Amino acid sequence: MLIIRPIRSSDFEALYQIAEESGHGFTSLPVNEELLKSKIARVEASFLKEVNKPFDEGYLMVLEDTETGEVVGTCGIEAAVGMVDAFYHYRLGTEVYHSEQIDVRNEVETLTLCHDYTGAAELCTLFLRGSYRKNNNGRMLSRSRFLFLAQHKQRFGETVIAEMRGESDKDGNSPFYDWLQKHFLGIDFVEADYLSGLGQKGFMAEMMPKNAVYVCLLPEAAQKVIGEVHTNTRPALNLLQAEGFRCRGYVDIFDGGPTVECNINDIRSVRESRLLTVTIGVQPASDTSYVISNTQLANYRATSSTLLVSQESDEVVISPELAAGLLVKQGEQIRILAL
């Protein structure tokens, strides 16, 4: 059985391996032993913390194959970004230049450095090992986060965002960043991305352009990738768009990839998820698969299974094996979402 659960300190080696496998552009998991151990400790504290208002909590889950005990994927949610470390974006805008005298009107696209998403929740750190990218495992891993959001809304910002990886080549070179490196930052993309992942973002405020950047003055290669996603990220973007996420004109300051957003109550899977009361017994046959989670926090568990669910009833029969995997008992509730 594949079970999603909170990460724990014993998962460090698996997380380090995932950080190595994830490659360039996966800022939330830099290959750094000290930072990854600190990240796990922060997550463990977040799952135990009483929260009245979201601040700087992080919730990182792992996907475990219970047959082998191997950790094969991760998914995470940040409660409220930018509350401790600055959270920068470029905001796309337009400046209008008009002269009646010469009868000319021009609209010029601009990029302005901002931190408008401070306090928003963030979907992040989604990774699944190649051999498990089948049987809707990736969809289950991604959508399980919406069950967690639906169950624990008070722990997250009202706006939920996701940063989409922008265009870069196999060596981590970004056409958008090349211009920044040449004229402002002076360090390569991989190093800047790594420092950002470490939370060492002071150089951004010191070295990034302070005024609006005119897009038309950028090299053509840089202009073309603004708001574009990496080929490997396209499926993730399609999934989020189906949930109601949209780009509102914010892009990543390094690779120009789009950031998408949605109000937590408008996310389709948050709205459509259901709470059902469990009866443990012989699980009826069904052709409909669901993402399923318990309603707990520190002992959060999620998986997928076929279930026989009625729109007229708030009860469901699950097998003893599924109940054990989800850590639920007779009469307790689960939250479900059609897969």
φ/ψ of residue 235, rounded to 5: -60, -40
SS3 168: coil
Which residues of 17-57 form beta strands (DSSP E)?
none
Does the annotation mark 230 as catalytic? yes
Count of CB atoms situated within 10 Å of the CB of 79: 23
Q: How far lies 210's CA from each of 90, 95, 111, 114, 160, in Å?
A: 11, 17, 11, 10, 27
- Please state, in angstroms and rounded to a whole number, the distance separating the CA atoms of residues 62 and 75: 6
Q: Which of 24, 89, 152, 230 does the annotation list as catalytic?
A: 230
Which residues of the chain form beta strands (DSSP E)?
2-6, 58-65, 70-78, 89-99, 104-114, 121-128, 159-163, 213-214, 246-251, 258-263, 274-280, 289-294, 302-306, 315-318, 333-338
Q: Which of 67, 240, 81, 64 lies closest to 158, judged by CA?
A: 81
Percentages helix, strand, coil for the chain, rounded to the nearest 5? Answer: 35, 30, 35
What residues contact 289, with CB distance under 8 A and at least 6 apart?
136, 304, 305, 306, 307, 338, 339
Residue 306 pairs with which residues in a beta bridge? Answer: 289
Contact between 9 and 39 under an 8 Å Cβ cutoff? The reply is no
- Please state, in angstroms and rounded to a whole number, the distance separating the CA atoms of residues 178 and 222: 8
Which residues of 79-219 form beta strands (DSSP E)?
89-99, 104-114, 121-128, 159-163, 213-214
- Give first-to-last CA distance, the chain, whole Å: 16
- Please state, in angstroms and rounded to a whole number, the distance separating the CA atoms of residues 284 and 37: 43
The residues annotated as belonging to the active site are 230
